[in-house]
Amino acid sequence: MAASTMTGPVAHHFDSMNQQQATVRLGMWLFLVTEVLFFGGVFCAYTAYRIWYPNDFAAGSAALNVGIATVNTFLLLASSLTITLAIRCASVADKSGLKRNLMFTIVLACLFLGLKAREYQLDYEEGLIPSTKMILHEESVTVTDAKTGAVSTRTEVIESSAFNEALKHKLKNEEFKGEAGKDYEPYRVQLFFMFYYSMTGLHVLHMIIGVGLLIWQYILATTGFFDHKSRYVYVEVMSLYWHFVDMAWMFLLPLLYLCGPHNAGQAVQQFKLALGMAGH
């Protein structure tokens, strides 16, 4: 058996620690390739519809909470830094540093998930959920008498889509000033929200799995598993997965949140609303 150039236990089916580590890295990279194909199909479908219905997708994007999305972006970028620092700590057998950086990463990820849950809650409260539900509401209608030409206004009860009415109400106070049926079609905006919930939901699922793996590695760190410096490779491959999740968000941010009109003041106001610091 070839001599290992690194200290630590070598599994019986490997000739050396270098071979074992190379295999661990290759396995993670192969897994990430399948994840790229998984996300890639959704991104391609979104891109096709985005090209076909640019105004409708811009209207849907304008209704999203860009304030929460902005803060979540910085949280993920910070978590990428802390997981990278964890690799360094593991490689030099700095147990306390490893535990600290893993915990920082877990906390940042949980903050992201908490804010995302709050965003979903606000979307639900505002009625931005694709559905076929219809509601009755009163609307003023202008009527012109055919004989006299007199113009009068009367109130009629009209049945319309609950989603369409919620979208109109939401866009009144946002940067998108288009008119439903003229500048955008509400049923196509529902398609945008189907992509929004599917794509962000898929990302959240990967985040939850990642948090579970990070907690597992934290427990291993407390038991002394990473006392062998060579085992830093397991933190390294975990960081590859985490960086992939972060990278997926960096694609979701412009595709979903930035394809419609927004401004900095709006983002601040939306984030305050999420924290309960501002009224609707």
Q: What CATH code is carried by the domain that includes residue 199?
A: 1.20.120.80
Alpha carbon distances (Å) from 241 to 138, 221, 235: 52, 19, 10
Q: Given a cut of 50, is residue 4 above it in pLDDT?
A: no
pLDDT tens digits for range 108-129: 999 999 999 999 999 998 888 8
Question: pTM of the full predicted structure?
Answer: 0.84
Q: Given a cut of 50, is residue 1 above it in pLDDT?
A: no
Query: In total, how many domains does the chain have?
Result: 1
Q: Please give, one letter per residue, the 3-state secondary structure of the chain.
A: CCCCCCCCCCCCCCCCHHHHHHHHHHHHHHHHHHHHHHHHHHHHHHHHHHHHCHHHHHHHHHCCCHHHHHHHHHHHHHHHHHHHHHHHHHHCCCHHHHHHHHHHHHHHHHHHHHHHHHHHHHHHHCCCCCCCCEEEEEEEEEEECCCCCCEEEEEEEEEEEHHHHHHHHHHHCCCCCCCECCCECHHHHHHHHHHHHHHHHHHHHHHHHHHHHHHHHHHHHHHCHHHCHHHHHHHHHHHHHHHHHHHHHHHHHHHHHCCCCCCHHHHHHHHHHHCCCCCC
Q: Given a cut of 70, is residue 181 above it in pLDDT?
A: no
- The arithmetic mean of pLDDT across residues 85-107, rounded, is 94
Contact 227, 95 (CB under 8 A): yes
Flag whether 51 is in a domain: yes
State how far the Cα of 28 lies from the Cα of 26, in Å rounded to an integer.
5
- The arithmetic mean of pLDDT across residues 142-148, rounded, is 66
pLDDT band at 267 (very low <50, low <70, confident <90, very high): confident
- The arithmetic mean of pLDDT across residues 238-266, rounded, is 90
Flag whether 4 is in a domain: no
- What value does the mean pLDDT of the chain take? 84
Domain region containing 116: 23-130+163-274
Flag whether 200 is in a domain: yes
Flag whether 213 is in a domain: yes
Flag whether 212 is in a domain: yes
pLDDT, position 12: 64
- The arithmetic mean of pLDDT across residues 76-101, rounded, is 94
pLDDT, position 164: 79
Flag whether 14 is in a domain: no
pLDDT band at 32 (very low <50, low <70, confident <90, very high): very high
